[in-house]
Amino acid sequence: MKVNFMRSYRSKKGNVTFVYKVSGTQADLEAFEEIQGDYHRTDDKTGESLWFTTRFIGKVGTLIITPNGKIVPDMSAFDQAASLTAQYGGNFGAALADKAAESLLGGSSSNASTTSAPAQSAIPEATAKDITDEELGNM
């Protein structure tokens, strides 16, 4: 299943929660809904499934279903980048880390300090019920 970052919000307890739109085959989406159970949330406008996490995984990502029936993000690309960076260290390791971060997060580290995004005039309203910290802990 693929996920695309939609928005984030700060919970009542002050935790940042990231909200992703889930896409995939009909079978994937049915499995996702079944596993999420009472914690399954959909976008009020589109009806698409949503996935909530307190850990940002990039603008796009992949979810996998573990053999134990849990929904988790596929972080193998991040783990591979961390391993390469640690193996080589020094300037080469730092260069690898920069390129990996650019690739994984979908941005450009080389011009991040010279460009900026336009200011947002308003925070977008939630289109689905935000999940509580307690609910997030039970996922």
Q: Residue ranges of the domains in the chain?
A: 2-75+126-137
DSSP letter, residue 47: -
pLDDT single digits (tens) 64-82: 999 999 999 999 888 888 8
DSSP letter for 109, please. G
User: ∠ CA 121-124-127 to the nearest 5 degrees?
Assistant: 165
- Please write the tens of the pLDDT for every residue from 15-33: 999 999 999 999 999 999 9
Q: Looking at residue 128, what DSSP letter applies?
A: S
Question: Taking 90 as the threshold, does the pLDDT of residue 106 lie above it?
Answer: no
Q: Please tell me the distance from the alpha carbon of residue 139 to that of residue 105, in angstroms, as a whole number.
A: 24
Query: 17 and 8 in contact (C-beta within 8 Å)?
Result: yes
Per-residue pLDDT at 70: 95
pLDDT greater than 50 at residue 132? yes
